[in-house]
Each structure stands twice: as C-alpha cells, then as structure tokens.
Amino acid sequence: MKDIMGMMKQAKAMQEKMQGLQAEIAETTASGQAGGGVVSVTLKGTGELVAVELDPSLLKADEKDILEDLLVAAHADAKRKLDAVIQDKTQALTAGLPLPPGMKLPF
C-alpha cells in the first residue's frame, strides 16, 4: 500500500511539473528568418504567429510570389526552432523517468 501512495505522490508531482512546463512553453517565443533576413516571423510556444517583419524592398507588386514563399519559409524556420526548444525543456523535465524511446511530451 505504501508503494501505491508513493507512486500517487510522484504522479501528482509530475503533473504539477508538466503544468508548469506547459505554461512556460506557452510563453516561449522563437523567431525564424528567410531570404537572408528580409522576412522574419515570431511564434509563441502555442504556435501562434505574433509578429511579421518585412524588408521594405520586398513590397513590390511583381514580387508577390517571392514574398509569399519567404513568409512560408520563415514560418517553417521558426516552427523548427520552437519545436527544438520545447523538446529541450521537456527532456530536462523528464530526465530520469523510464519513458519508452520516442515518446514525446507534452502529449
């Protein structure tokens, strides 16, 4: 019975740590760039796009397709960086836990 109580306490502590991690991740931001920095976007940990910066040289009617492609590329860059930060934070929290290989947290 003591083992079950100990496991319940550990589960509760882990749940509280995960809630803290989720709050921390939600406030984390990552920026991505494309075109050598002429397009920059910033994402929050929730995936929300919070900022877009464009070099004025891109604001030409005949370069609309280029601008669209650069926005997509900058978003993908920011998403990769954000995923890496989230993975690092999650690994730090779950260090020492016997999780199956490839299991990703938070779910």
The domain of 50 spans 31-95
77 CA to centre of own chain: 11
| pLDDT score of 107 | 46
Considering the domain boundaries, does residue 60 fall inside one? yes
- Which range among 5-14, 45-54, 93-102 shows the weakest confidence by mean pLDDT? 93-102
Identify whether the C-beta of residue 32 lies closer than 8 Å to the C-beta of residue 15: no
Report if pTM > 0.75.
Answer: no
Considering the domain boundaries, does residue 17 fall inside one? no
Identify whether the C-beta of residue 78 lies closer than 8 Å to the C-beta of residue 42: yes
Considering the domain boundaries, does residue 12 fall inside one? no
Identify whether the C-beta of residue 25 lies closer than 8 Å to the C-beta of residue 89: yes
- Which range among 10-14, 51-55, 66-70 shows the weakest confidence by mean pLDDT? 10-14
Q: In 3-state terms, the chain is what percent helix, strand and coil (to 5)?
A: 60, 15, 20
Considering the domain boundaries, does residue 84 fall inside one? yes
> Which range has highest mean pLDDT (4-13, 68-77, 83-92)?
68-77
Domain CATH for 81: 3.30.1310.10
- Over residues 56-61, the mean pLDDT reads 88
| pLDDT score of 80 | 95
Three-state secondary structure of 77-92: HHHHHHHHHHHHHHHH
Considering the domain boundaries, does residue 18 fall inside one? no
Considering the domain boundaries, does residue 100 fall inside one? no
Q: Give the count of domains, the chain.
A: 1
